[in-house]
Structure 1
């Protein structure tokens, strides 16, 4: 296998939401999207005091894409207009397909607001092609013990979707996304096959990795050249990395707030449908 080379680092931009520490590597000043990956918010790491207000993401709509949420520390309560409800703890993952339209809320459970504690969450938005933008909404949330792991060369690979060394992730992807959380011990090395032409999403959550002899510190999105059939990196001191890859969709992207469609007219229709109550509502 021939590893891809590093093209550019994109530091996450600080953009706090109230008292929630937030960094955003995508979109960034030099990278509007990494088709089909649209958006990543990195919340935390931080420690909430007792009697806190919790997360600020009350009921809001989405259409035309998917959200993948990684709970690294703390807890996240999910509720949506499709009737799905869960509280996911550390190491767990949520995968929500907004499709034709869904209202959801992502909040802290009462126990976390009362006791406080550490919190770190990643949320990735993944685009859908035009043929799938009006698909049925769906949701799956799994705790850490339901996510399979692959151990190799000083690294633990938590397989979210797709397959690594024959181990298949529990989250189905409508567009063939391969997604993993990679935890490297000091001296850990990772080499994984990635077909040429696929877009690679590589974000350093913590620590530092080395790609082709070049250092990539925490809170950087690593853009790779499409010049190989593998992704390879190592970490002398240890790191946590979000790694995904997918075939680019190659369609126009017209985004407005919580809606991601192909045209302005489709955005207007989404707003009209939401205002008409067609996305449903969150109970309670």
Structure 2
């Protein structure tokens, strides 16, 4: 079985009136290659006539974002011409590649009526050969995403990418990666075989789980050693877990602001290209 290397509690970093916790990166953990960044927004309840999410137009290059909408909604727009409103249970996957500008805000309906909000965004690195790939975006609603049950129906898996239990994830990816959201009832036990050369991303969104008998509450990221092929955990409360795994790229990484490249020179080029308008135009 995989053993625990460290448990990383998410740090509290509010953004305006948005409750935000951030377990990755931190002074204790730079990355779990190729998983490089996670923001956990909420849970919180917005009043009527609120300002919604504060993420207006901004650029990205050299990485991908995967956005999990547990409660509320998110309105996406980018310089590639993509627009959508994804509601609770849905997933967005954006490949920034060579560069684009996007905004992630709340729908006019959510801002008018308010409601519960809990959204997580995970950044995935891209290897050098795909840093300058063509940008793309796909947003899927809850009922468009592959899902199935395990453990006699006590665990509900939302399969985002990769293969599990004979099912295929809903998003095609540039690099081999497994990614899922798992909703567990108290007492549910999950076992999954993961090659020992792959890094595991394991974050408890809600509730509490037990790994190797250690009780781990929500808003904690578990870092595993690469010393076995069996991952086993049990929900000691109703819980939600994001589980991913992938072969690490083992490449140099320079991350600065919204850009993730292999060298500082490439970061400077990204800022220059953005200022020169090479990430596309933005129209409100």
| Common fold by TM > 0.5 | yes
Which residue number in structure 2 is paired with residue 128 of structure 1?
A: 126
Equivalent position of 2:32 in the other structure: 34
Q: Distance in 1 between matches of 2:197 and 2:283?
A: 43
2:157 alignment counterpart: 157
Q: Which 5+ residue runs of structure 1 have no aligned equivalent?
A: none
* 3-state secondary structure, aligned to 1:273: helix
- Partner residue in 1 for 2:211: 211
Could you tell me which residue of structure 2 aligns to residue 179 of structure 1? 179
> What's the CA shift for 1:5?
1.4
Q: Confirm or deny: 8 A CA contact 1:197 1:226 kept in the other structure.
A: yes
Q: CA deviation at 1:236?
A: 2.1
What do residues 130-165 of structure 1 show as CA deviations (whole Å, max 9, x unaligned)?
110000000000000011112111211110000111
Q: Residue 207 of structure 2 aligns to a residue in which SS?
A: strand
1:85, 1:152 → 2: CA distance? 34
8 Å CA contact retained: 1:54, 1:113: yes
Q: Deviations over 1:74-108 (max 9, x none)?
A: 01000001111000000000000000001000000
Structure 1 runs, 4 residues or longer, greater than 3 Å off = none
Looking at structure 2, the residues matched to 115 and 262 of structure 1 have their Cα atoms a distance apart, in angstroms, of 44
- Which residue number corresponds to residue 267 of structure 2? 267
Q: Give the distance between the partners of 1:215 and 1:8, measured in 2 at CA.
A: 13
Question: Which residue does 1:254 correspond to in 2?
Answer: 254
By how many angstroms is 1:237 displaced?
Answer: 1.8
Residue 283 (structure 1) shift: 2.5
How much has 1:35 moved relative to structure 2? 0.6
Rounded to whole Å, the distance in 1 between the matches of 2:237 and 2:52 is 32
CA distance in 2, matches of 1:24, 1:45: 13
Q: How does 1:63-82 map to 2 (within 5 A)?
A: 63-82=61-80
